[in-house]
Amino acid sequence: MTDAAIALTPPRRRARDRGARLRLWGYGLLGLLLLAVGWELYKAMGPADGVVIGDARVLPRTSDLAMPHVWEMATRLLEPVTRAEGARPLWLEIVLAAALTLGIAAAGWVVGVVVGIALALIMQRWHLAESAMLPWIVLSQTVPLIAFAPLVRSWGSRIEIGAFEWQDWMSVAVIASYLAFFPVAVGALRGLQAPDAIHLELLRTYSVGWWATLRSVRLPAAVPYLLPALRLAAANAVVGAIVAEVSTGLQGGIGRLIIQYAGQASGDPAKAWAPIAGAVALGLIAAGSVAILGLIFRNYRRAEATQ
């Protein structure tokens, strides 16, 4: 945001914005608190064997094994991972694993965004391409990740170009990008098609070509559509990275920890929930980082506010 734009915003509105933002955070925290209270209430009052309809258990058992107390899960975070000498505290282990996964997801996000925008540009430029490609793009998302994650890994392991050697984490990033590109391609296409007819006509009277129209009208007009798509892509990239870590067996990431700690749940039930909480936080951080882009491109969202 430019200084001029800040200066033009009436101070009262700025204060109201800040108030609204605080209230949003408040609601977020309240939601978290309600979740914890609900968890504990069910644990205290729910039937010990859970709720079973037919053969399906629709609500879990309330035992300490299935549903540890909220405070147990919280305090478990502060304790060491294992009883071994010099073991790191659990929270640190989670943070380190989450950081690795975040890095891979970020790489996947970047690849997905580049591919998604490129596809959208091609589809906007040639209507035929849109009819030909869009159904496949939608269909691509119905392929189960778990099915092709091992494939990507085995293809990747055969790639060796000069000094470049395919790393296992790259397979994970590719799979993350597979989930991330979809909302970007669809959102960017809608955005590129969004400009008012009057703006396109104006550019026509200037007799400028497709590139100039793209730069001066289509891309700016696409920003309001692109920002939510980028946020969705970030959340998708995190999910994709975690699932891919599990199915390709990549060590060190949060996906691996989820599986590993779940295996230890019978002896240490609270520990299994820590990487799950970490994964949730990871998704929030990834989506939240994209919100910063929204601030940078604030002026391109003016149309939303006025119309």
Partner 1 sequence: MIPTSTSTPPSAATAVSARGVDKTFSTKQGEVVALSGIDLDVAPGEFVSLIGPSGCGKSTLLRLIADLDSPSAGTVEVFGTSAHQARIDQRYGIAFQQAGLLPWRTVAGNIALPLELHGMAPAERTARVDELVALVGLGDFAQKFPDQLSGGMQQRVAIARALAEKPALLLMDEPFGALDEMTREYMQTELLRIAAETGAAVVFVTHSIPEAVYLSDRVVVMSPRPGRIADIVPMRLGRAADRADDLREDGAFFEMITAVREALHGAPVTGPRGVETR
**Closest CA relative to residue 248, chosen from 116, 41, 101, 142:** 101
CB of 217 to partner 1, least distance (A): 7
CA atoms within 13 A on the CB side of 298: 10
Q: In sequence order, what are the residues at sequence separation of 6 or more whose Cβ sits closer than 8 angstroms to the Cβ of residue 52?
A: 58
The DSSP bridge partners found for residue 51 are 59
Q: In sequence order, what are the residues at sequence separation of 6 or more whose Cβ sits closer than 8 angstroms to the Cβ of residue 220?
A: 300
**Closest CA relative to residue 154, chosen from 253, 249, 251:** 249
Q: How far apart are CA 13 and CA 21, in angstroms?
A: 12
Identified binder of partner 1 from the candidate list 115, 202, 277, 293, rule CB under 8 A: 202
Identified binder of partner 1 from the candidate list 6, 8, 20, 53, rule CB under 8 A: 8
Which range in 25-33, 82-90, 225-233, 296-304 contacts partner 1 by CB under 8 A? Answer: 296-304
Residue 85 or 201: the one with the smaller Cβ distance to partner 1 is 201
- Three-state SS at 162: coil
Identified binder of partner 1 from the candidate list 220, 255, 278, 283, rule CB under 8 A: 220
Which range in 1-9, 14-22, 83-91, 170-178 contacts partner 1 by CB under 8 A? Answer: 1-9
Q: Which amino acid makes up residue 37?
A: V
Query: DSSP E strands: which ranges in 135-243?
Result: 160-161, 164-165
The answer to whether 58 contacts partner 1 (rule: CB under 8 A) is no
- Three-state SS at 69: coil
* Positive/negative CA dihedral, 163, 164, 166, 172: positive
Residue 60 or 294: the one with the smaller Cβ distance to partner 1 is 294
Identified binder of partner 1 from the candidate list 12, 160, 205, 292, rule CB under 8 A: 205
Residue 117 or 217: the one with the smaller Cβ distance to partner 1 is 217
The answer to whether 69 contacts partner 1 (rule: CB under 8 A) is no
CB of 203 to partner 1, least distance (A): 8
The answer to whether 296 contacts partner 1 (rule: CB under 8 A) is no
The answer to whether 283 contacts partner 1 (rule: CB under 8 A) is no
Q: Which amino acid makes up residue 188?
A: A
Distances 279 to 18, 98, 150 between C-alpha atoms, Å: 29, 7, 22
CA atoms within 13 A on the CB side of 84: 6
CB 254 within 8 A of CB 98: yes
Residue 78 or 212: the one with the smaller Cβ distance to partner 1 is 212
The answer to whether 37 contacts partner 1 (rule: CB under 8 A) is no
The answer to whether 216 contacts partner 1 (rule: CB under 8 A) is yes
CB of 180 to partner 1, least distance (A): 26
The answer to whether 212 contacts partner 1 (rule: CB under 8 A) is yes
Identified binder of partner 1 from the candidate list 199, 249, 252, 277, rule CB under 8 A: 199
CB 137 within 8 A of CB 209: no
Identified binder of partner 1 from the candidate list 201, 266, 267, 292, rule CB under 8 A: 201
CB 245 within 8 A of CB 254: yes
The answer to whether 1 contacts partner 1 (rule: CB under 8 A) is no
Q: How many residues bind partner 1 (CB under 8 A)?
A: 25
The answer to whether 163 contacts partner 1 (rule: CB under 8 A) is no
- Interface with partner 1 (CB under 8 A): 4-5, 8, 196, 198-199, 201-208, 212, 216-217, 220, 223, 299-300, 302-303, 305-306
